[in-house]
Amino acid sequence: MSTVKSALAQKQGALVDVRSGDTVVEALRQMRDNRVRSVLVIDNDVLVGIVTQGDCAIKVLLPGLDAKTTPVGQVMTSNPVTVKPDDRLEGCMAMMAARGFRHLPVLDAGKVLGVISIGDVVKNIIRDLEHNVDDLMGYIMKDGPGG
């Protein structure tokens, strides 16, 4: 089955990130411009958090804070759970489902490589299942008993 590394290889585009001192409106602009629902928060090349559209809505909009002045560091999830490139996607999916995550930052020896979403995980698992079906059909049609 697939690994986080294979899921990252399927993704296009650069890493989308902000700094903890950037405003929430800047994080939202990055999400809009890059068509993503979360951005990593990286200070001095170190992952310090993740902020999602939901964080912005629940922690800024609902309490009536100003997104133009509220720093990302005030609303981000600090020290997010991360995965490694060699981790299996099935394990990521189980963790995401169990803990309610939609995004997992990917680190290799402390270096940020990217982020995988639940959509990335599902797409890769479906692709693997399609390959398995194709292999089984080939076996049944050509190589199987009576073939």
Summarised one tens digit per residue, pLDDT across range 32-76 is 999 999 999 999 999 999 999 999 999 999 999 999 999 999 999
pLDDT value for 30? 97
Please identify which residue in the block is written with the tokens 């995980």: 121
Q: Domain segments of the chain: what residues?
A: 4-143
Q: pLDDT class for 24, splitting at 50, 70, 90? A: very high
pTM of the model: 0.83
Q: How many Cα atoms occupy the beta-carbon half-sphere of 3 within 13 Å? A: 8
Residues linked to residue 111 through DSSP beta bridges, in sequence order: 108
Three-class SS of residue 107? strand
Which numeric CATH code is attached to 4-143? Answer: 3.10.580.10
DSSP 28-79: HHHHHHHT-SEEEEEETTEEEEEEEHHHHIIIIITTT--TTTSBHHHHSEES
